[in-house]
Structure formats: structure tokens, C-alpha cells
Structure 1
Amino acid sequence: MLIDDIWSVETWETIRNWLPHDNTNGSRVIVTTRFQAVGAACSERDGTDYVHTVNVLSDADSKSLFRQSISESPSRKEEVHEEIWKYCGGLPLAIVTMAGLVACNPKKKSDHWSKVCKSLFPEQVAPLTLEGVTRILDYCYNDLPADLKTCSLYLSIFPKGSKISKKRLTRRWISECFVSEKEGLSAEEVAETYFNQLVRRKIIRPVDHSSNGKVKSFKVNDMILEYIVSKSSEENFITVVGGHWLMPTPSNKVRRLSMQSSGSKHGNSTKGMNLSQVRSLTAFGSQNRRLPFHSFNNGIIQVLDLEGWKGLTDKHLNDICKMLVLKYLSLRRTEVSEIPSKIEKLQYLETLDIRETNVGVLPKAFGQLKQLRSMLGVNKNTKKALKLPHEKNKEPMKALRILSGIEIDEESSAVASLHQLTGLRKLAIYKLNIREGGQTFKQLRSSIEYLCSCGLQTLAINDESSNFINSLDTMTTSPRYIIGLELSGKMERPPQWIKELNNLYKLTLSVTVLRTDTFKLIQDLPKLFTLTFTLSAAKDDWDIVDILEENKQLTDREIIIPPGGFKSLKLLRFFATLVPRLSFAGED
């Protein structure tokens, strides 16, 4: 039997009382812990209990980790820095947490940090106990600005060890009104700064980065998360049911409920809880289980995150459409196949996430969601995109910032309304099936050109069955605000205006334009960070091998990447079954 990560002697003694006292079958119990006192308690019987001590970091490694975590700390603080890391007992968590604290208080003087050391480490002995680590976490939490305290407590919604999407978190912050526009920054930009501060303070740890270099997902250290969950429970901020934590039933009304997977039925129960004031509900785990919808007051729920929940039915969708103040709705990775027209009642909805579902068409009522900021669709596994409603919007959706995962065909009358989305910052069209020269073709190109002049920053078009992306070269003006551009499918040549996009950060092109002249076209883009050549069309649709062979012939069977360009490029990627030979020309 393995009992992992015990934090206190009291916890071990409780567990030990339930274990057999006589070992007649030669069985073994293995206990892991971070604390010496717990290890000593687990090995009280001479000759039968054994302790294997894992060495903490050496002084040299501790010092290196501390300095690396601070990054560019002023040299005048070097002495006090050493005073701090020496008290951390070689524990990486304590070291990086204290480093984050110092890094976020650059104006604090040496005498301040001397006082901090004396208050946090009165015994001046190592190694640290659980009480010592808790003191560090307490101090770091109390050092947070009020807004960041709230945002950090919100992390307790997510299960232990889970990999969390940054965008999922920041969109929920906005929907809960923890983040709002400030000093000329949009709510999304303020949320980004808050997130980066939590990273800098080592409260969260980046795990994955997107191709533009920004954090895509992160994790929370188990010990930090337990502290946050405990703090959140004390303040009745979030109530966690199930999962890793065994929390007492709240005596007050539950405001934010996180229902997590648990091996015991008792651990999943909300029995005895007052759910009439729940404003936010999050359900984790893919198992089919009941949620207490009947106990909620639909008139006050603002956030409903059912990502991955397999128990969703049409009846639930009808109930959801009664949540009149709902701001955030995620049905991602559920089995929902249709969005009812009653969704138009959700006049405060800001985020609608139906990615990886079976929904194929947006209802006509979609255009009535006047507060909607993010519309997230598409199922990349089945290559199924969302068709726009077949009717024009009577009034523009001025709040919409992201429209992602849509399909446009000849019946999409709503294309004529796209130019009204002047607040749009990201448009991602995953499927096109329109006739060249037709009315829809002309309307779409006109709308994209107009939206680009209004501030569109990210444009993605996957065109495997039309000739639309090849017509973009005839746009009268370049999309000067674009920072992310993705043009894939049956592409013959890149638009010449790409060379004028001085803010372009991320560029994805079809591998069919992989030629020397393409590299010459884009080599002087000053901010280009990521360049990708991709193939998204199926082999049955067109002969990619012939096109690549033709590209070879046009370049004497070799593509030469010219010298002197791509000053900011950090990532060059190729996603294709066949790539011609590439040569990097040297400087003269």
C-alpha cells in the first residue's frame, strides 16, 4: 500500500489506527511526506520501520534556484537574498515562493526583508516544518493586492493536479466581475496582467505555451492549492464537493460550487447544503451523475461550466435557458447536439463555449445575444464547424470580440451582417463552401476587408473547397492591425500585402506556397515570432504531391531561405507529409 504526501503527524496517526497492527502476510505500507517530523512518526518501531531520506537542495542549488526565480534582482539586495534562501531549508517550494515575493516587491529595502525573515523564521533552524511553510504561504497571500487575492482564491475551483486553461480561467474572472476595464485596458488585457502577476509570484506554474509564446495552460502546486482551498473555505468563497479535499459542510449559503470527481458517493453529496444562493457551478469528471439543478435559483446563476460532463440532456438545456443573468456558459466536450432558440433569453451571456460538441448550426436567436463577447465553436476531432444562422441579424452584436469555429456556405445569409461586428478582434473560419464570384463570396471578402480596417487582430481561414483565400490578394488595403494570420487550404500564393504587416506576430500558411519567393516576401517582418507551414486538406481532395513537386521544379528542387531576415523569428514549423529540401543561405 502506498500513502502519498502526508503533511502532518496527526493525519498519519489517524491513518495508522485503521491499519492492521500485526503483519503476518509480509505486506508493506509505504508513506511519502515532505516533513521530517512525519517521517520520524512513521518510523517509531525499531527494526520494523525504515526511513529513506531524500536529500533537499544543496546550498549552491538553493542559491541558484532563488536567483533564477527572482530574475534580474538588484545587486544591492544580494546579501538579504542569501539571508532568505538560507532559511528555506533546501525546499524548492519555499525557495521559489519567497523568490516570487521578493521579485514582486522590487522597491522594498534590505531592512524590510530582514524583518520578514525574523517574523517567518523565528527558530532560525532548518529544515522547515509544515507550520513554517504555512507561515510563508500566509505572508505571500497577505502581500497580494485585493484583486489578486480574489483571483487566486478562484483557483480552488479546479481539482488537484489538473492542467488548467489560461483562457478558461481569465474568461471566468471577467464573468464573475473580478476583472474589468481599467486605465484604458480592456477586461481581457487586465486579466492577462493579473495572470502574469500570479505566474511571477510563483502561485501558478506554466505548463504549455502556444505558438505565440504565451502561456496556454498551467498547474498549481498541490501544497499551494490546499492552502488556497482551505482559505477559500474559511471565507465561504468557494465550496468544493468531492475530489481530493475533504471539506466540512458549509454553515452558510453556498455561493460558488465546484463538484469534482470522488471515489465515494458521500464525497459527491450536496446533502445539507443551502444551494439557493449559488451563483457559479462547475462540474468536473466525465462520469454520468446527477447535478442538483432543482436546488438552484436560476435567477442568480452567472457562471455554468459543464465542460466534459456527460449527463447533459435537452431538459437541462431548457433549465439553462431560464438562467436569465448567466454570463458564462461552457458545454464543451458534452454530448449536446442542438442549441435551443430559447437561448435568446440569456441577454447577459458573455461567453458561449460549444467546442467539441455535436452542435452543427447556430440558431437564429444567436443574433439576439447582444452582450456576447466570445463565441467558441468547432469540433476538430470530427472537423465539424458551426454554420451561421440562415438569416441576417436585425441589430449588430457590438460586444462580440471572438467568433471562432464557424462554417460559411451559400445558404449563410448572415454573412451579410458580418461587417456589423466592428468590435471583432478574432475571426476563425474553419470551413468554406461558397461559389467563386457569387454573392456570398463577395459579401464575405467585403466584410473581412472592412473588419480588418476596424481593428481585427486575428484572422484564420481554412479554405479547402473554395478559391476564397486566393482572392484576398485583391484587398484594396492591408489589414494593418493583424497580429495573427492563418491561411490554409488550396492556397496558390500568399497575399502580397503580408509584407506590410509590421505587427504580425504569428503566421500560418498552406504548405502549397512553400517556395523561395514566399520567404523573400515575409523575411523583413519585424515582429514575426512564429512561422508555420501546414497542410489541412485531405489527400483525396487534391494531389498535394503534385503541387509540392511543382514547387520543387520552380525552385530547382531546393527552397532557399534568404539571409539577413527573420530577426524576431523563434519558431519555424512544418506540418506536411512531404517537404522539399530547404537551404539556409549564409551572410556575405
Structure 2
Amino acid sequence: MADTAVSFVLDQIYQLVKEEGSLLKGLGNDFSDIKHELENIKAFLKDAHRRAGDEGEDNNEGIKTWVKQVREVSFCIEDVIDEYIMDVAPRVNHHPPCIASLQKIAHQIKTLKSRHRIASEIKDIKSEVQGIKERSERYFQSSSEDGESSNRRGAKDFKWGDPRMAAHFIEETEVVGFELPRDELIGCLIKGTNQRSLISVVGMGGLGKTTLAKHVFNNQLVKKHFHCRSFITVSQSYTVRGLLIDMIQKFCKDANEPIPKGLHEMDDNTLITEVRQYLQTKRYLVLFDDVWKENFSDDIEHALPNNKEGSRIIITTRMMPVAEYFKKSAAVHVHQLQHLSPNKAWELFCKKAFRFEPTEQCPTDLEDMSQEIVQKCGGLPLAIVSIGGLLSTKEKTMFEWRNVCQNLRMELERNAHLTSITKILSLSYDDLPHNLKSCMLYFGIYPEDYSINRKRLTRQWMAEGFVKNEKTRPMEEVAEEYLTQLIHRSLIQVSRVGFDGKVKSCQVHDLMREVIIRKMKELSFCHLMQEDDELDTVGITRRFSIASCSNNVLRSISKLGIRAIYVFSKSELPKDFVGRLSSKFKLLKVLDFQSTLLNYVPNNLGNLFHLRYLNLSHTKVEVLPRSIGKLLNLETLDLRQTHVHVLPREINNLTKLRLLPVYYRKYEGQYSMLNFTIGVKMHKGIGCLKSLQKLYFLEAEHGGLDLMQELKMLKQLRKLGIRQVKTEYANALSSAIGEMTHLESLNVGAKAENEIIDLNFVSTPPHLRVLNLKARVTKFPEWIPKLNYLVKLRIGLFNLEQDPLDSLKDLPNLLRLNMWDDAYVGESLHFKRGGFPRLKELDLTRLSKLSSISIDEGALLRLEHFRFKDNPQMKVVPHDLKHLKSLQFLGFADMPAELVESIDPAKGGQDHSVIKHIPLVLIRQNVGPKFHDYELRPIPT
């Protein structure tokens, strides 16, 4: 993290010297000197982090102290730079030259005191940085020798006490929950093709990958099937040469053959040839355990011949890219190892916690507490074994059990039985590149068991400056790639996936979160504020995560370096909470109040000049102050599900604003397609928001044709939602959308059901992926079937008399289709053979005249979810549903009683056979006036 802090500060200094050099007035040289010193210090940091974590280092405490000093001085430099930009650097103005010159002189006089203060601070920092550099020589003079010794290592030999060693010596009788994956892997090894192939076991640390692979490797059927076998522990540090020597020695030992002479004296080519010749006529099995390097297959590819004898390679890894990289040279079977089921987790816990009891059974009085402990382990075998082992040494009393359960975080740090958990889980974090370490630490900011929205998380990363700005693609894509890397490294668990396969939300395993919280504390990354926690007792930190608020929560005035505050409290916030926050933490970049009871934003919000991310979504806020126009660095303003329906005119000053989601959905009432969502009114001048990429929902009626003209200037828009559109706006809106060449999502709603909105484009939006049109049309839009990238289409109120499916059936990437509210007013729909080749979800809602559906064999081959809602004329279930072999879910909501009864076996339903192949069939019935007032009833299949 210190290297991250230094890198971040170096970038800031570079930009400051480049952009504000003429304004530094003597400070420029000092900034440059600090920059050069930090560049030298940065070179030591990678080795410093490695050695600080090496328990064998005699001076590691000194190294840790040095790293801490580097981090803290980096924080100080960042603070000074941000204070300079906020207090000293003049704002952009558009006055005539003579007035601008006078204003510049007045500004310099006004900021003279701030300049002197900053100059003094810079001098002090420069001196401190030089001292830190000098002290570094004390700890790193032997770095080159360490590097040379590490380069001589081959396959990794574990040190005594390495917690990973235990997995190599677990008895078969101690293994629980691996029966199915064991049999699957054995089948992959001894059956199938004669071509060389690879089996990869992928999963997070502590999941039992080595245990599983070792028992498969030693299985008697496997031993008999292969001529020779070799088990190699790879780990992070290895050389190819040492690995090959180790491999052939173990092959020879397994086959009871003599080891070739002179292995250590062979050059690399001779060594590879020796291995290949030895294996050329053999059916071999090699297991590479704990692989971290993505292109590992390149290192061993030439030594392992594809001799068509049915040879196999097994790898265990925490990183999916390692497995995928092998695909260029071999057939790969990936087994993603899952967490233990609750039953198996309980079985394993009892084996460990009560192993010295006669029955290995949990006493009745400890059962509830034991279940709670097992639940905390989250199906992670390492945690269950370690905590069960600890409890086996304790008295079997409620007091002892509760003490461990309630103090698990402290026990993980200090108890010898549990240190293996933190060590093994920390390996994955320690292996991350520095930019991903900061992203990973963010998961500790959120409360335990919190399902974290992908967009919210990645936007926070961007606001913090963790995401590299690449000119060739949007920052959102880069941020999502970071998240994908963390998922592929088995650090993050996916909670929810959208219909298009994209991650919707994610979370971190509870024990991994404990490791992260420990890291956050060590690195001054974030302080978790609990009830009655006084800020006066908090050391240096960059962020606050506030789980509960008291009147004293912002008492401290010394924490000026805070960069982000997140509030998760569900209770009433103290009066003027945001006002005091805005006056004391002026360097804030991230401020998140999502789903709190915040109901007021004060006028002094404009103090937060550096603010980049402001999340007020799902709060009770109704009005934004005019001072929001002073937040010139704001990039994200999230106002979803608030009662903000008019934005102040000053919002148009925010030329860096990129994301503006603002709407309110009326879940408390009955659904109405055109009035379910309330958007926002904006004043003339929104054309100044040239950085805007997402804007939804905009009220078109407020601004009318003038607003349509201004939309033309928003050429960076990727997502646009606009409602209350009138017929006379259609041409102007079409023209504006035609200028948005990056547009990926478009949502257009008419003011009333009789408004005709025919959108006609000179050229179709080339990248459109999501389209939602709610308005009458004179004919089906001819440009929709040309949207080759379209994945989601929702149409409503079209009043089409001809079946539109013929026009849509060949869309190559369409995954989701919704036809709602008389989009089609015919009586029948026909899904033709070969149509909709990739469609996964289909929804037909409130089509008032639809009475029948026919589905050809070979149509809708990938359909998984099919929903019908409130189609009053459809009284017979479509018999062609039996053709849909991929269907996983069928839903009927507010459908005629005749149809429901016909598929219900409890009521003698004659058409039950039509749906019996579908795993889940649900009947939904409204029971009240509100959107969520309904009951669900499954139909047995």
C-alpha cells in the first residue's frame, strides 16, 4: 500500500508541475526534488513489503516502521497538493483580459497567507523525505544478495510451520465433502481421450484444492493407470530449471527407475530433452500444486510431450487465468471447487471439534452456538478445521464457545490454532499488483455480509483514483476488468449475475473480510466507526466507514486528510451532520449516504471542492443546494430513488460530471408504464455538461424542443433515459440521438398513450445494447432489426397489429425481450424455427388480445425464463412449451383462472404434462394495491 500511495502522489506531483508550474512561485523546485526522492524510494518498496512480511527477517520491524513512514509522508504530500489546488490555484474564468488580470492579482494577494503556509509545509516534507531515503540504506543493503538467492530456487520448498504443508498429510478418513469432485476428477484422469489433457482445480485459498488433488493423485485406480507420476509444489517462487530437475527425480522415484546422472550439470536445452525422452513412451501424470503465474504453461510446455498415451496434467490454482492459459496447448477441464454444503460443513466441524468425544457428536446444549460458528466459517474447510481444532482444546461449555464466536477477529490475530487461516488467505492479497490491492481493501469498508453493487463499487474506485485512465476505452470498462481479475483470483464471490452474464453484485467471504480489516488497520486505509467510537482516539486514516452515528461522531477537527466517508447507519443522522462534515473534511473525494435516513443537504456542500463521487441514492433528500455548482471536480452524482425532481441551474457548471442517474420509482402504488418513474427537470444550459456519459431520467416536457437541441451537444452519452416526450419532439430527439455515437442504452417514454413517437435515424446508433421504447408508433421501427449488438429490448404501447416477431427473430445477440402494455394487439404470436438463437428471457405482459402462442421446434433453443402476466384472453397454456428443453423457469402472474387450473395437478389439471419438464413453475397473484403486494405459489413438476 505504501507503493500505491507513492505512485499516486508521484502522478499528482507530475500533473501539478506540468499544469500549474507558472503558479508555484518558487515551490516548483521543491516539488520536483520530492518527486525525484520518491522515485528512488519507490524502487525499495517492493522488496520492503516482501521482507516486512518475512518472519525470518531479524530487522522486519524496522522495515515495517520505514514503510509506515513512507506511507504517512505520502499522505502529507497528497494533502499539501490538494490544499494548494483548493486554496491557491485560481479558478477558470471567462472575463475580458483586463478584468481577468485584475482578478488574478487580487487572488494572489488573497492567497498569500496560504502560499506561505504551503511553502513551509513543503520545506518540512522535503527534509523528511530525504531522511526517509537515508534510513532506507540501513535496511536494504543486502537486497541484491536476497534477490540472487531467490533466483536460484526451483520448485518451492515450504518452510517449517508453513500452514500449506498440512494439506499434504491429511488422512483419507479426515476428508469430508469431496466425494463428488474426487470421483469427477478420477474419471477425467483415467477415461477419455488419448491426447494429453489438463485438469485444473480452481478456488480460493483454504478451500481444499491441494487436499482434493493429493487424494486423487494417490487414488489406487489412478496409480495403476499411469506409468509414472510426479507431484510438484510450485508456489510463487520457482525456476523452470529447478522445477524440471525436481519433476524428473520424482518421476523416476515413482517408477522405481534410476535417476539420470548429471542432471544438475545439464544446460537448459539438454535438460528439457532429457525429460521429453524419458516421458515419450509413458503415460504420465504430473500434478503442479499452487500455481500463481498466469503463463506457467509456457514454462513447462516443451518438457511435457503430447505422446498420445493418455497423459494428464493436474494444476491447483487460485487464479482462473492460469487454467485458461493452458487452453492454447491442451484440452482443459476446469473444476471450480465449491464451498462445503451446510451438512458437510457441520460433519467436518464435529469431526474436528469433538474428535476426542466418544461419539464425535455435538452436545445438545452447544448445538445452536456451534451452528453459528460453522456459519461464520462460510463453508471454508480450512476455517472449519482450524476453528474446530481450537474448540477441541476448550472446555465444552457455552461460555468458552461464545467467547470464541464473539471474539473471532481477535482470535484470528493471536491464537496459534487460527493463524494458518490469515496466513493462507493473506497470500492471495499479497500477490496482487499494487493497484488491485487498494481495490481489494475496499471490500472491508462495507458491512459484514453486505452484497456490494458492482457499479457503486467501481465508481468509488474511479473517484479514488485507483483506476488507470486509458484513452482507448472508458474508465468503467477498466474498473470492471479490475473486478474481473479479483474474481478470477478467487478473492471475490459473485452474489448476483444479470441476464447478460455481467456481475450485478459481489461480496467477500467473512474470513477474507477479517484479513482485509486487519490490512486496513495496518495501512491506515479505513477506520470502521462503531457506536460511541470517538474520532479523537483514531490514528492516521484516509477513510471512515460509519456503521452507526452518534452526536459526537464528527467531534474531531484534526482529521483533515480524510478522503472518503461512507455511512451505513440505518438510524436517524444527527442534525446538521452533513453541514459539519462539509466544514471539517474539505479534502473529501468520496461521500456515500446510500440507503440512509438523510433528508437534508446544507448549503455548505460546495466546500467540498475535491469531491468526485456523491451518492445520495435511496435517501429522503428532496432539494440540492445551489452551492453544488462549486463541486467542479464532481464526476458521479447518484440521485436514484430520491425526491429530487428539479436540479438547480448551477448543476450546469459541473463540466467534469460523467454520471447522473436521477429518478424515483413509485413502488408504493399501482404500476403504470408511463408514470411509474418520475424523472428530473433541468434548466437550460445542460449542453455545457460535455463529459456526461449517463443521464436518466430527464423530463422532456421541461425544456421541450430547446432541450432536444441541447442534447445534441452531449456527444459522450452512453446511456440516456428521457420521458414525457411529445409527438412534436420526435424528429428533434432523433436528430440528437444521431449525434450520440457512443450510445449503448436508450430509454424513451411518451407523455401519454396517444402520443406517437416515431424515431427515425439517418444512421442507426452503432453500439446500442439496450433499448426501451414506450410509445405508440405508426409502424414497427425498421432500424431495430439492424441493431446487431442489441442484448435487451423492451417495447410497450406500440399497438402493432402485425406480429413483430418476424422482424426481431434474427437479432444475433438478443438475450432479453419484453413485450408489454399492448405492444402488440393481435391474437396470436408465432416463434418460428431458428428464431431468436440466443434469447434467454422472454416476458409477455398486459397484451390484452393475445390468446395463443405457437412455438416451432428449433425456436427459442436457449430460452431459460418465460413469463406471462395479465394476458386476459390467454386461457389455455401454450402446448408448444414442451419444445423448450432449456427452460428453467415459467411464471404466470394474474393470468385467467382456467389457465392456472389446467396446469395444477392438485386441481386435476389436464395440461400439467406440458410443463412437467420445467424445474420451477410459479403462480403469482396480486393481493393488494401496491407494486409488491403479491403472493407466490409453486406448481409441482
TM-score, shorter chain, exceeding 0.5:
yes
Alignment of 1:427-576 (within 5 A): 427-429=720-722, 431-434=723-726, 436-437=727-728, 440-451=729-740, 454-463=741-750, 465=752, 470-472=757-759, 474-491=760-777, 493-510=779-796, 512=798, 517-535=803-821, 550-552=825-827, 558-576=828-846
Counterpart of 1:85, as a letter, is T
Is the CA contact 2:528–2:545 (under 8 Å) kept in the aligned structure 1? yes
Work out the CA distance in 1 between the residues paired with 2:185 and 2:545. Answer: 35
Is the CA contact 2:640–2:663 (under 8 Å) kept in the aligned structure 1? yes
Work out the CA distance in 2 between the residues paired with 1:338 and 1:232. Answer: 35
Deviation at 1:209, TM superposition (A): 2.4
Work out the CA distance in 2 between the residues paired with 1:125 and 1:297. Answer: 42
Deviation at 1:64, TM superposition (A): 7.7
Is the CA contact 2:640–2:662 (under 8 Å) kept in the aligned structure 1? yes
Residues 1:208 and 1:113: Cα distance change in structure 2 (over 3 Å): closer
Corresponding residue SS for 1:379: strand
Structure-2 residue corresponding to 1:302 = 589
Alignment of 1:68-79 (within 5 A): 75-76=197-198
Is 1:409 matched up with 2:701?
yes
Deviation at 1:503, TM superposition (A): 1.4
Residues 1:58 and 1:384: Cα distance change in structure 2 (over 3 Å): closer
Is 1:399 matched up with 2:686?
no
Structure-2 residue corresponding to 1:60 = 179
Residues 1:575 and 1:284: Cα distance change in structure 2 (over 3 Å): farther
Is the CA contact 1:327–1:348 (under 8 Å) kept in the aligned structure 2? yes
- Deviation by residue 1:78-112 (Cα, 9 ceiling, x = unmatched): 699997134899xxxxxxxx999858735267899
Is the CA contact 1:307–1:332 (under 8 Å) kept in the aligned structure 2? yes
Structure-2 residue corresponding to 1:584 = 855
Alignment of 1:2-401 (within 5 A): 57-61=176-180, 63=182, 75-76=197-198, 84-86=210-212, 105=294, 107=296, 127-128=385-386, 130-182=418-470, 184-242=472-530, 251-261=538-548, 269=553, 274-290=558-574, 291=577, 294=580, 297-313=584-600, 316-381=601-666, 383-393=676-686, 396-401=688-693
Is the CA contact 1:284–1:307 (under 8 Å) kept in the aligned structure 2? yes
Corresponding residue SS for 1:372: coil
- Deviation by residue 1:468-521 (Cα, 9 ceiling, x = unmatched): 66311x333322221111112445643111111111122112275677631110
Deviation at 1:201, TM superposition (A): 2.1
Greater Cα offset, 362-371 or 486-495: 486-495
- Deviation by residue 1:239-263 (Cα, 9 ceiling, x = unmatched): 11128x999986533311110148x
Work out the CA distance in 1 between the residues paired with 2:511 and 2:383. Answer: 21
Residues 1:409 and 1:141: Cα distance change in structure 2 (over 3 Å): same
Counterpart of 1:401, as a letter, is Q
Is the CA contact 1:166–1:217 (under 8 Å) kept in the aligned structure 2? yes
Is the CA contact 2:700–2:707 (under 8 Å) kept in the aligned structure 1? no
Work out the CA distance in 1 between the residues paired with 2:202 and 2:737. Answer: 56
Is the CA contact 2:721–2:746 (under 8 Å) kept in the aligned structure 1? yes
Choose between structure 1 and 2: higher helix proportion.
2
Deviation at 1:286, TM superposition (A): 2.5
Is the CA contact 1:276–1:297 (under 8 Å) kept in the aligned structure 2? yes
Residues 1:340 and 1:585: Cα distance change in structure 2 (over 3 Å): same
TM-score by length of 2: 0.47
Work out the CA distance in 1 between the residues paired with 2:564 and 2:585. Answer: 11
Residues 1:425 and 1:342: Cα distance change in structure 2 (over 3 Å): same
Work out the CA distance in 1 between the residues paired with 2:650 and 2:747. Answer: 25
Is 1:425 matched up with 2:718?
yes
Two-structure CA RMSD over aligned residues (Å): 3.9
Greater Cα offset, 415-424 or 204-213: 204-213
Deviation at 1:207, TM superposition (A): 1.9
Work out the CA distance in 2 between the residues paired with 1:455 and 1:389. Answer: 22
- Deviation by residue 1:317-369 (Cα, 9 ceiling, x = unmatched): 31222211110011111211112222111111000111111111122222211
Structure 1: which 5+ residue stretches go unaligned? 1-54, 68-73, 90-97, 117-123, 536-543, 553-557
Work out the CA distance in 1 between the residues paired with 2:555 and 2:212. Answer: 48
Structure-2 residue corresponding to 1:26 = none
Greater Cα offset, 509-518 or 177-186: 509-518
Deviation at 1:113, TM superposition (A): 7.8
Is the CA contact 1:433–1:466 (under 8 Å) kept in the aligned structure 2? no
Work out the CA distance in 2 between the residues paired with 1:303 and 1:571. Answer: 37
Size of the aligned set, in residue pairs, is: 484
Corresponding residue SS for 1:377: strand
Is the CA contact 1:516–1:561 (under 8 Å) kept in the aligned structure 2? no
- Deviation by residue 1:5-39 (Cα, 9 ceiling, x = unmatched): xxxxxxxxxxxxxxxxxxxxxxxxxxxxxxxxxxx
For the pair shown, the structure with the greater C-alpha radius of gyration is 2
Residues 1:389 and 1:101: Cα distance change in structure 2 (over 3 Å): farther
Counterpart of 1:566, as a letter, is F
Work out the CA distance in 2 between the residues paired with 1:324 and 1:515. Answer: 56
Work out the CA distance in 2 between the residues paired with 1:485 and 1:276. Answer: 45
